[in-house]
Amino acid sequence: MNRAIKVYVGMSGGVDSSLTAALLVEQGYDVTGIYMKNWTQDLPGMKCPWADDLADAKRVAVQLGIDFKVFDFEKEYKQKVVDYMIYEYKSGRTPNPDIMCNQEVKFKLFLEASLEDGADMIATGHYARVEGGRWKVEGGDTEIANSQIPNSNSHSLLMQAVDKNKDQTYFLYRVTCEALGKTLFPLGEYTKPQVREMAEERGLYTAGKKDSQGICFVGKVGIRDFLSVYVEQKPGKIIDMKSGKVLGHHDGAIFYTLGQRHGLDLGGGFPYYVVGKDMDKNEVYVTTDLNDDTLWKTSVNLTNMHWINHAPIDGTYQIRVRHRAKLVDAKLKTDGSNVKLKLDNPERAVAAGQSVVVYDGDICLGGGIVI
């Protein structure tokens, strides 16, 4: 007996995931909307928007006439994402919680829970594309035999989105090939303005809703404000790197990262930039020299590598050192389980704990964590 492919769509209450669900319904998939309840805690001065987001997602599901469920991952999110982020900052590094959320929650817990609940695939509103062995609907016809449902061992390539300004492959580089083989990214072929226009044309409730900011699922809150809830503020010295002079004081070295300019409150004269910190001494080191060698790197060492399909051979590739940073050429050389990158031109403020993602043209190969 043939049946439509059953897709569980992660619906966050935003315009991107709303249009994702709408497009899949139009293409003939059997769609169920899923809200991932990952964080509900209010923070000082900031109310967590989860209840409003859930209500918005429900409204869109009703508009589309699709089933809707809530998956509660709050405990796992705290352990896998928040605790990881706090530990990394306490260690003096600069982690990316959105990358960890994709690795551990959206494309692991959500995928596993969806498949266990009867889904064949999942979908999200990420701006990315999957190509390769992934089974694809042609002409909107999704009636297939059960035996034809794509398997998780397909050779799937993670590709940059058509809209390079919105491309989110940087955040997705730690997703497995197997997960990609079970994932749909309908928005990868569109630009953000097109997505807004398509949502408005369909009268979706969230068409005019602003994009979310801040930490993934937590809401519009800065890293400093978030960390302040979990770590004790410890006053320390801000020291000029070259002269050794104490220029001022801070509330904790944990709140500062390489290249940071704002939040130093040193006042007057040329702006200061963070060029280092000592977590044991709780000291932050700064300079007014924007060309200081500490701020610029022509070589980057990566560890904790993740390759979506297989490790690339040594050679020249393109890398991205942060979201929306330009792709730049780099020579990649494997060094045991780590990777060394040599850059033709220096990159600014590449901090330990950050992710560097490796590309071969439009293909996102994977990446690693800066040592």
What positions carry a catalytic annotation? 101, 216
Residue type present at position 123? A
Its sign, for the CA torsion 126, 127, 132, 137, is: positive
274 three-state secondary structure: strand
The 3-class SS string of 316-361 reads: EEEEECCCCCCCEEEEEEEECCEEEEEEEEEEECCCCCCEEEEEEC
- Distant-in-sequence, close-in-space partners of 138: CB < 8 Å, separation ≥ 6: none
60 three-state secondary structure: helix
CB 207 within 8 A of CB 198: no
User: How far is CA 68 from each of CA 7, 23, 125, 202, 347, rounded to the nearest angstrom?
Assistant: 12, 16, 16, 19, 45
Give me the residues paired with residue 159 across strands. 129, 363
CA distance 38 to 184: 21
Give the start-end residues of each E strand in 133-177: 143-145, 156-160
CB 285 within 8 A of CB 276: yes
CA distance 187 to 16: 8
Residue type present at position 38? N
Helix 83-90 with 223-230: angle, nearest 10 deg: 90
Which pair of structure tokens corresponds to residue 217? Answer: 């699922």
